Structure 1
Amino acid sequence: MLVQKMRTEATKRALDVQIDAVSVAEIESHLSSADVVLLGPQVQFELARLTELSAPLGKPVAVIDMMDYGTMRGDRVLDKAITLMA
């Protein structure tokens, strides 16, 4: 699973981060505690709605690159999350 690959990469880099996966139906209840929200390519249709919901909270929302998602490139997805938080 991509989340596990991201966690493994974060451990290699000695990053103190929490990486979780939740369904789109649950995401609204997690927005306040998230630093960044990454969507799988299969739910990119939710990008505009979730961006609107997260904007007042200052939380960036983005879609994971389809190739990175499909090839489970946890390192690259982690890089994207870090960049969005900067």
Structure 2
Amino acid sequence: MAEKTIMLCCAAGMSTSLLVSKMQKAAESDGIDAEIFAAAADADAKLEEKHPDVLMLGPQVRYMEGQFKSKLSIPVEVINMQDYGMMNGEKVLREAVKLIG
């Protein structure tokens, strides 16, 4: 089992899957033991199944931030739009790790 579990949530899962792979590469090169995965419509089921340490939301689903924050006891954060658009896996990974503490 990974030391850190990071969940990304977006509208359809396409672009977030690419960001997940970039984050995984960054984690490997930084020696961070993390399980990173994406979810879309199945977000609630994935939360129950995987029990992530942090939930990062794609900018397109930022409207869900309050809803997730009210029902979860983990950090919930919207991914910086520029980092998301540039698929900057390293910066998004660093932000997730910082939120986990």
Same structural fold, with TM-score higher than 0.5 when normalized by the shorter chain: yes
Q: Is 1:71 paired with 2:86?
A: yes
State the match for 2:33 in structure 1.
Answer: 16
8 Å Cα contact 1:31/1:59 also seen in 2: no
Q: How many aligned positions are there?
A: 82
8 Å Cα contact 1:36/1:59 also seen in 2: yes
In 1: Cα distance, 2:78 partner to 2:47 partner: 16
SS in 1 for 2:37: coil
Q: List alignment gaps of at least 5 residues for structure 2.
A: 1-17
SS in 2 for 1:20: strand
TM-score normalised by L of structure 2: 0.77
RMSD: 0.9
Per the TM alignment, residue 85 of structure 1 is displaced from its structure 2 partner at its CA by 0.2
Give 1 or 2: higher helix fraction.
Answer: 1
Amino acid at match of 2:61: V
TM-score normalised by L of structure 1: 0.90
Q: List alignment gaps of at least 5 residues for structure 1.
A: none
Which segments of structure 1 move beyond 6 Å, counting only runs of 4 or more?
A: none
SS in 2 for 1:38: strand
Per the TM alignment, residue 14 of structure 1 is displaced from its structure 2 partner at its CA by 1.1
SS in 2 for 1:50: helix
